[in-house]
A = this chain, B = another copy of it.
Amino acid sequence: METDLIRYFRQRVPGHRILQVGLGDDAAVLELAGRQYVLTVDLLSDHVDFELSQVDPVRVGRKLLAVNLSDIAAMAARPLAAVIALLLPRSGGAKLAKALYEGLLPLAHQYDLAIAGGDTNSWEGPFSASVTILGESTDRGPLTRSGARPGDQILVTGWFGGSILGKHLDFQPRVEEALLLHQRYDLHAGIDCSDGLALDLSHLAEESGCGAVLDLAAVPVAEDAYRLAQQLADGSTPLEHALADGEDFELILAVPPDQARRILADQPLAVPVWQIGQFIPTPGLWEQTADGELRPLSAAGWEHKFNG
């Protein structure tokens, strides 16, 4: 349903002279007084994005902000200010709200983000929150989803899969990493991995009007993907978890070959950067078989796992 709705919104919502990038990217890009700002909102709810009964609310509070910072990172922008809307259960709501803030304030401090305001209501329903972050582009401009070109290499940071074992709460949004790469190298496009490596890569390719071929052997599979496959013992492989789990909040980048070679040689981040495939003219998501053929790859990703 949500994909249909997003399509509806994109058709129905008009453009605007201040909107350089509207619906469909990790954040909107606004041009105001000759400068470029990014604006993004994320909604997280109990039983959908976490189970409050099973997790320390301090970690949930951190996640509320971190998810949004990851969207700012995907645009290679600098976070400026956030506003936070909390919809609290009537019972225990105040205690919960304070714990959430104990989680999000240190992260705000770390990223020099101003907590500018909020709105707080209580109701009979479960906990839900939305965080909106305003950021600013550097003089390199925003990194969007639509700039990938056939021949660009697919680079990613970190490791993928099994985030449900902990990383989905405690991940580090790649804000500084994105800023550094965008400053030093020529990047064509970027997205953060929230829905799953395969699905988010498909989004990026689609927005860029091209396709993507994955070198499955090169996908950096997280140790937790192995642990999760072992725990579940349902026949799913660690690689499948890496492709489909989501909430890794790593960067997926489209980089021209010469720049990709430099990044891979330099390894300028504390986290490793890997090349896992390339963009091609043919739309869709593909894997390269041993005999050099292209085989379609499912873009199935993680969508509201807690409900399904």
Contacts and interface: CB of A to CB of B under 8 A. Distances in A.
A290 interface: no
Given A13-B101, A114-B30, A41 B119 contact: yes
A123 to B, nearest CB: 5
Contacts of A2: 120-122
Interface residues of A, number: 67
A270 interface: no
Interface of A: 1-2, 4-6, 8-9, 12-14, 16, 18-19, 22-23, 25, 27-28, 30, 32-33, 35, 37, 39-43, 45, 47-48, 80-81, 83-87, 93-94, 97-98, 101, 105, 109, 112-126, 128, 130, 132, 134, 136, 304, 307
B5 A120 contact: yes
A210 to B, nearest CB: 23
A122 B4 CA distance: 13
Given A8-B98, A13-B101, A18-B80, A119 B128 contact: no
8 contacts: A1-B93, A8-B94, A13-B105, A23-B115, A30-B80, A32-B80, A39-B83, A83-B132
Q: Determine how many copies of this chain the complex contains.
A: 2
Q: Which of A5, A47, A117, A121 gathers the greatest number of chain B CB atoms within 10 Å? A: A117
Contacts of A114: 16, 18-19, 22, 28, 30
B123 A41 contact: no
